[in-house]
Structure formats: C-alpha cells, structure tokens
Amino acid sequence: METEHRVVVGDARSMDALADDSVDLVVTSPPYPLVEMWDETFAALDPAIGEALDAGDGRRAFQRMHDVLDAVWAEVERVLVPGGIACINVGDATRSVGGEFRLFPNHAEITSRLRERGLRSLPDILWRKPTNSPSKFMGSGMVPPNAYPTLEHEHVLVFRNGTRREFPPGDDDRYAAAYFWEERNDWFSDLWEVPGEDQRLDADQGTRGRSGAFPTEIPFRLIAMFSTYGDTVLDPFWGTGTTTLAAMVAARDSVGYERDPEFRAAFDDLVADVPRLARERVDARLDAHREFVARRRADDDPPGYDAEHYDFPVVTKQERSIRFYDATAVETVDDGENARYVVSHEPR
C-alpha cells in the first residue's frame, strides 16, 4: 500500500488545489486569537487587527482575528465530504488588553462560526497538558477575590459535515482500520492528559518561535478515531507538519496548507524518521493489547473473538479484521515550494 502526502505553500483561505467534497477528515490547530505569539501573524493578514491591539480594543481585535480564520472554515466546509469530521485543537486566551485582564473564549467563537456554516457540533475533548509549575493561579496571590485559575487545558472541537458517512456493508478498509476495544475506551473519553512536545525544528531556521505544534499523539488519535484506510486528512494550518507525520504513521493520505515556505523546507529532514515512528507505534499498540489480553485471562474473562491477522483474541466482532501497517520507505518529490511525499506501507 502507498499513501500520498501533499504540502501546498499557500493561503488556506483559498484552497484551490482541492476539489469540493475531496477531504474525509480535517485535523488542525490554528493560530489562537489574542495569544500574543500570533499577533504579528494576524496583523499581517489584516492591519486593522494591529490597530485594534494598539488602541487597547481587545473585543475588536478578537472578532477580526476570527474573521481571518472564518475564511478558512468556509473552505473547510467546501472540501469536506458529506459526513466528514473536522477536529480543531484550540486554546482560549487570557490577556490584559486596554488595562483589563480577561479570558477570550476562542473555542466558543469557533464553535459558533462553524455551526453557522452548517457543521454539526459533536462532543468535544478537553486536552489537559500536565504542568509541574508550582503556580496554579494568576492574579493577587493569597488574597481573595482577585486571583484566577490557571488555564491548563485546550479544546479539541469535533464537528460533522451533515449526517453520518455511509459505507458499503463490511467495507474492508473501514474494518481493517478498527481500533481495539480498550483503545476506544481511552480515546473516546472527553478528557485527555497528554504532555506537550518541544518543537522539532531547528531554532536556527527561525521557525520555532512562529509555531505552536501539538504533540503527534493528538493528531494520531484523531486520525485513528475518525478516518479509515484510503481516507485523506487535511491540515489547513500545517505549521511544522505534525498532522502529516501522524497521517504517514497511520497510513492515511494527507494534504497540508502552509503560508511559510521555511516550514515546508524544514519538514524534509523529518520524514526520514517516519519508518521508525510507524514501527514504534505499531509495536506499542500490539504490546499494549497483548498486555490487556493477559490481564483479562488472569481475571478469567478472556476476549471471545480471534483476530484474523494476529495471534491474539479481541473483545468484539468489529475488531477481528484489524490490521496494522509499517511504513517501509518515504520518497520525496519536490515541486518548487510545494512538495509531495509517497510512503510505502507493508502489513505487519
């Protein structure tokens, strides 16, 4: 099996390279409005945002930043297949603007705007990023009432484009892409505790300070949860390419849009790691399931169905055809500033 991964250097507010209804899943993390590291990015796209910030008008800056993102959401709605899922990781912002400290609820604004475009909200996920900081509050220290809780979570918003996707009965790709029963119980919780990751790109390339990549675990889970083999995953805010790496490891096709060519060029150095990352991911999932089976047997409650491709049982009929793939090779095809990567996969 081969998967194809395209990276387009361009503005996702106009994804001309993608046809209508051509993407099965969107997994992305946009710039977070009113989080200072993205002020320059937003102001470059709309100078009125910089003017609002200089004037201390946080409300106007917030709305205009979301207007910028809204043009991308319009394209997401256009390219997403009927029944396709969009997963958007975003954090709220806490900030003093105009001399007043407040929270700017990015998750609520994005939810409102995507619902206005006809996408249907599904239960979302709180991603809590554990911290060792001794300071668990902001504000006036030990004296009430002017301290504030520390913001230690982000949101993974989940939307569906219309009603549920339809598949032929017994669709091979869908059932091969099944997850284990115990993975379902973990992944489909509405609270994830996943540590953050350091940026993988070299700071000398000047890219580290302009990206807020999420850990690979987040997009990998979402891809495994909401897509099948043969599906295409889109990240319109590609950044350091975390979603593409996860799609390569998960053996799905992908497309990414990124305005900064430096990010795309730096990604070439990361793809050599894909075979190792895929092998480690498959090893971890198989080992964890075998440990789960051993515990069930020790409790005199062994799973009741045999997996077709592996030497262990599974809990449900839907897991019997589960199949994992190693990435064996990655070919890079340059296309000017754009790039295409072809990954070869072999069944484990």
pLDDT tens digits, 286-332: 999 999 999 999 999 999 999 999 999 999 999 999 999 999 999 99
Q: How far apart are CA 339 and CA 5, in angstroms?
A: 8
Question: Residues 152-158: what's their mean pLDDT?
Answer: 95
Tallying the residues shown for the chain, one arrives at 348
* Cis? peptide before 168, omega within 30° of 0: no
pLDDT of res. 99: 86
Give the SS3 label for residue 240: coil
pTM listed for this prediction: 0.94
204: pLDDT strictly greater than 80: no
Q: How many CB atoms lie within 10 A of CB 247?
A: 29
Q: How many distinct helices (H) and strands (E) make up the chain?
A: 10, 16
User: For the CA atoms of the chain, what is the radius of gyration?
Assistant: 21
43 alpha-carbon distance from chain centroid: 25
Higher pLDDT, 348 or 210: 348
Ordered by start, the domain boundaries in the chain are 2-32+69-285+322-347
334: pLDDT strictly greater than 90: no
* Percent over 70 (pLDDT), the chain: 92
In the structure, what pLDDT confidence band is assigned to residue 197 with cuts at 50, 70 and 90?
low
- Asked: is 2-32+69-285+322-347 a CATH 3.40.1130.10 domain? The reply is no
Sorted by sequence, the CB contacts under 8 Å of residue 74 that are 6+ apart come out as 13, 117
Tens-place pLDDT, residues 26-81: 999 999 999 999 999 999 999 999 999 999 999 999 999 999 999 999 999 999 99
In the structure, what pLDDT confidence band is assigned to residue 143 with cuts at 50, 70 and 90?
confident
Torsion region of 263: left, alpha or beta (phi above 0 gives left; psi -120 to 50 gives alpha): alpha
Bridge-partner residues for 104, per DSSP?
93
Helix (H) or strand (E) holding 108: helix 106-116
pLDDT of res. 210: 47
Tens-place pLDDT, residues 88-113: 999 999 999 888 889 999 999 999 99
DSSP 209: G
Lowest-confidence range among 53-62, 138-147, 236-245? 138-147
